Amino acid sequence: MIQADKLITDCRLATMVEGGEPYGAIEDGAILIADGRIVWAGARADLPPHEAIEADRLDGRWVTPGLVDCHTHLVFGGDRSGEFEQRLQGVTYEEIARAGGGIVSTMAATRTASEDDLYASAIARLAGLKATGVTTVEIKSGYGLDRDSELKMLRVARRIGREAGVRVRTSYLGLHAVPPEHRAERGAYVDLAIDDILPAAASDGLVDAVDAYCEPIAFSGDEVSRLFERAEALGLPVKLHADQLSDGGGAALAAKYGALSADHVEHTTEAGARAMGEAGVVAVLLPGAFLMLRETTPPPIAMFRKHGVAMAVATDCNPGTSPVASMTAALNLACVQFRLTPEEALAGATRIAAKALGLQDEVGTIEVGKVADLAVWDIQRPAELCYWLGKPLLARRYVGGRAA
């Protein structure tokens, strides 16, 4: 006899368990939840003997794992809608940056914002993600670029995880850009980011992974290697913004350090894709940034398939290059722009996105032992999650088995 807190019935399950039926689909399914975890899931006809404190009937709706947004910059001050207008009028990103815009503009607004202000603005953006089925979100630092502001961002991210009805994984992105006060002494900032800010963040329990931006306009492979070696010494996994604007060898560097993921990867070569596949590094696809930057070179999807590289999909929600606060919009764009199948895209926002955060044993599929983070949808087939652009589809979310 299974003792459960909740029984969910009269539903169709897209379990997203690999193998078997497309989407891991189960018609007329049921789920038993106890202590926030799934203790049984399958066809309702196969329900074992059980006692449940309460039962939810879902009127034939589809249930998926809660969606996982594995790459966001959700916490920041201000916005850059004015720069968006400038770019549409022909002003280049470089010209905007030289005039004090770009990341520096967001940095200034983030430094002056209070923790409460940062929390309030992030919660407003998070509402869009939650309304599109997200139950787990990764949040990066990287707009403070000094010790106090980076730690402030990470504290706000932790608060979101405690108070806002989502699971949060934090990433320290100190090597995002060189702040203006260190332009003449770049090495001093790299030292500060690696030897001071990162250990402080780790000591305070504020960081789950370490990230960097590896591009000629950002940080070199040698600088990133120093950061990753320090992360390894602190027992922290790594991630990498890689090969977004050029082939800088970022994919191979991520593979060398056993990174959880390499993100963007539009210009990754076959050698890089092969290295990622061999090392089990997830490719995180960010179609919102591809759209907003009007890029023309998509990620090498065929090569990733060829070399067995798992592909996640995320919003990259940020103020400059991807003001996207809808996970279903990201799924649609991944299919339309990158030619993922709907099943690949949904796996990329559930099972594979969980792997990109090191959470594959906790979330991302509907199966026994996983946390009961679920999304319930008003759809007739799972492909609709990638088909509709802007139509409200979510009926409810469960986080740890509780409606949230």
H or E segment to which residue 8 belongs: strand 2-14
Domain match, 57 and 72 both: no
**pLDDT of res. 309:** 98
For 339, residues 6+ apart whose C-beta sits below 8 A from its C-beta are 298, 301
Domain match, 113 and 172 both: yes
**pLDDT of res. 20:** 87
- Structural domains in the chain (count): 2
pLDDT over 90 at 355, yes or no: yes
For 172, residues 6+ apart whose C-beta sits below 8 A from its C-beta are 140, 141, 150, 154, 197, 198, 201, 206, 207, 209, 210, 211
pLDDT over 90 at 158, yes or no: yes
User: Average pLDDT of 337-364?
Assistant: 98
**pLDDT of res. 105:** 92
Which residues does the annotation place in the binding site for Fe(3+)?
71, 73, 241, 316
Domain match, 136 and 16 both: no
**pLDDT of res. 379:** 98
Domain match, 261 and 148 both: yes
Domain match, 17 and 108 both: no
Which residues does the annotation place in the binding site?
71, 73, 80, 143, 176, 241, 244, 316, 318, 320-321
pLDDT-based confidence at residue 170 (cuts at 50, 70, 90): very high
Domain match, 8 and 110 both: no
Q: Length of the chain, please?
A: 404
Which residues does the annotation place in the binding site for Zn(2+)?
71, 73, 241, 316
For the segment 193-213, what is each residue's pLDDT rounded down to a tens digit?
999 999 999 999 999 999 999
Domain match, 169 and 277 both: yes
**pLDDT of res. 141:** 98
For residues 363 and 356, the answer to whether their CB atoms sit within 8 Å is no
For the segment 41-82, what is each residue's pLDDT rounded down to a tens digit?
999 999 999 999 999 999 999 999 999 999 999 999 999 999
Neighbours of 293 (CB within 10 A): 16
| CATH number of the domain that residue 251 is part of | 3.20.20.140
What's the predicted TM-score (pTM) here? 0.97
Which residues does the annotation place in the binding site for 4-imidazolone-5-propanoate?
80, 143, 176, 244, 321
C-alpha distances (whole Å) from 63 to each of 15, 28, 42, 373, 377 are 8, 11, 12, 10, 6
Domain match, 228 and 149 both: yes
For the segment 100-134, what is each residue's pLDDT rounded down to a tens digit?
788 889 999 999 999 999 999 999 999 999 999 99
Neighbours of 49 (CB within 10 A): 6
| CATH number of the domain that residue 60 is part of | 2.30.40.10
For 91, residues 6+ apart whose C-beta sits below 8 A from its C-beta are none
**pLDDT of res. 145:** 97
pLDDT over 80 at 94, yes or no: no
User: Average pLDDT of 320-325?
Assistant: 95
Q: Round to whole Å and give the CA distance between 148 and 287.
A: 32
Domain match, 274 and 373 both: no
> Considering the chain, what percentage of its residues have pLDDT values greater than 90?
93
Domain match, 165 and 202 both: yes
Instruction: Determine the structural domain holding residue 54 and report its residue range.
Output: 2-65+365-403
Nearest to 302 by CA among 253, 330, 344: 344
CA 245 from centre of chain: 20
Which residues does the annotation place in the binding site for N-formimidoyl-L-glutamate?
143, 318, 320
User: Average pLDDT of 344-370?
Assistant: 98
**pLDDT of res. 98:** 75
Domain match, 72 and 59 both: no
Domain match, 225 and 345 both: yes
pLDDT over 80 at 97, yes or no: no
